[in-house]
Amino acid sequence: MLPIVLFPSVGVLDANTTAKEYMNVFIEGLIIAAAVKKCDLHERVVLVVSLCVGSEPKWIMLGFMTVIALLSSFVSTTAIKVLIVQSVVQQLISSFQHQEELEKQLEHRVTWLC
């Protein structure tokens, strides 16, 4: 949101052009997020990260923080939240309640990915 205020005040771009460009980037990110959700790529990312980092909650959080940081380079933060948050919360809840059961499920799902 900072460019919408700073660009017109500094004279880089006028307010209309800045707002249009900012909204284009936001809408493009949402379209990419919708495409990722349609092909279930977000679920696969969650499963692969869970497989790599294990079932301990602190490592799960580190893994997803890394993935979200990388994805935010290409997609808007709002779109990433729509994609990842639900899956991450489900993974964390299940890891707190059933760590052994989670590992069995991940093994089954990973074989599905291959």
Each residue of 75-98: pLDDT tens digit?
A: 777 777 767 777 777 777 766 666
| Rg of the chain in Å (alpha carbons) | 18
Each residue of 26-74: pLDDT tens digit?
A: 788 778 877 877 888 877 887 888 788 887 778 888 888 888 888 777 7
Number of H helices, E strands in the chain: 6, 0
Q: Is the pTM of this model over 0.85?
A: no
Residue 79: CB partners within 8 Å, gap ≥ 6?
Answer: 29, 30, 32, 33
User: Do residues 102 and 94 touch, judged by C-beta distance below 8 A?
Assistant: yes
**Count of CA atoms in the C-beta half-sphere (13 A) of 83:** 29
Provide the token pair at 45: 């990312």
